[in-house]
Amino acid sequence: MADSGESFFDRHYFLLRRLHSLTGIVPIGAFLLVHLTTNSSVIWGAFNGRAKGDGTAIGRGVETFQHEVSFINNLPLLLLTEIFVLWLPIAFHSVLGVYYAKSGKRNTERYAYQDNWRYTVQRWTGYIGLLFIVYHVGTLRWGWDFLVPGGAQWSHYFASSTLAAALQGSTDGFTAGGVIVSLFYMVGVTSLVFHLANGLWTAAITWGVTVSEAAQKRWGYVCGAIGVGLMGAGWASVFGFAMMVDYDDAQRIEQRMIVEKYGEAKLLELLERYGMERLEDVDADTEAARETRDEIRRIAEAPYPGPAPEFKERDAIGTGPSDE
């Protein structure tokens, strides 16, 4: 059989297009939903009555976020899950996405209507989103501290404080570098959310779910609502860590939670590893401290045992057998 001269991508266009569309929804889109919901807990966690934080709304948000991050990082088979459920699908989706974007034709000059502009924006948000993912993961997971103003090193044990330091540019408040990083986060999150919401709309067409114009219009409203919701969660995440979380206040909450869960020795080990200081006013609610408080409360609330016992006179003066 003669070689048709078609590339691998052209020969398997139908299959690859659908796999590209599918991986953009599951697992990548599903992960983005969970990720933004978790990160925005720094805001909606203010309504979490089970988190005590430091007595403030943002403190409860910090504790809620730290609890969620700790839960995720203690999941079984986490590394394998990240590789096969996240990184490989992202790599597959990105490679095909770049190929299709470079091989496609831009027709905005000749056909300046909404759907064509949407296609162009989809391509550019894909480029920006991919760049943001590399930066986000590189600086927070791969140790690219040289790209973080102030050199903040992220740790899941100190998730809120170190993320706030990364977005603010230092541990002492905003810097010019922090403004740039925070703006890049806003652009990156916005690009990813648009790319997902618009990708959901085009995926329904690719898979033949929305054939008629009316069906595509109705599905467009649903995708728009999903996009608005995720955009709100993404912006809330960036705003919360960049503008509302104080590094020292978050550290106090995180250090207390570490002592409560792992003990004082583990905290000292982590502080030495990351070059942090022990905050002396941390009020750790350890098991021993709780038992001590319970014992004090039990004694204080016990009923008075009654009047003092009466002593005979000789008992009072300590007479002995020789007096009998």
pLDDT in tens, 117-176: 888 899 999 999 999 999 999 999 898 989 999 998 999 999 999 999 999 999 998 999
Angle at 101 between CA 110 and CA 223, to 5 degrees: 85
Q: Would residue 24 count as lying in a domain?
A: yes
Asked if the model's pLDDT at residue 63 lies above 90, the reply is: yes
Residue 126 lies in a domain: yes
What is the domain extent for residue 254?
A: 8-105+115-274
Assess if residue 54 is contained within a domain: yes
> 147 CB contacts (<8 Å, ≥6 apart)?
135, 138, 139
Dist. CA 243–CA 75, nearest whole Å: 30
The CA distance from 86 to 146, in Å, is 25
pLDDT at residue 96 tops 50: yes
Specify the CATH number for the domain of residue 134: 1.20.1300
Indicate the SS3 state at residue 269: helix
The answer as to whether 82 is a domain residue is yes
Has residue 28 been placed in a domain?
yes
The pLDDT tens digits of the residues spanning 4-25 come to 678 888 888 899 999 999 999 9
Instruction: Name the domain count of the chain.
Output: 1
Task: Determine the 3-state secondary structure of 245 from DSSP.
Answer: coil
Q: Residue 110 falls within a domain, yes or no?
A: no
Distance between CA atoms of 181 and 46, rounded to whole angstroms?
25
pTM score: 0.82
The label of the residue with tokens 């995708």 reads: 223
> Within a domain: residue 312?
no
Angle at 272 between CA 269 and CA 275, to 5 degrees: 145
Note whether residue 290 is domain-resident. Answer: no
Using DSSP's 3-state secondary structure scheme, residue 154 falls into coil
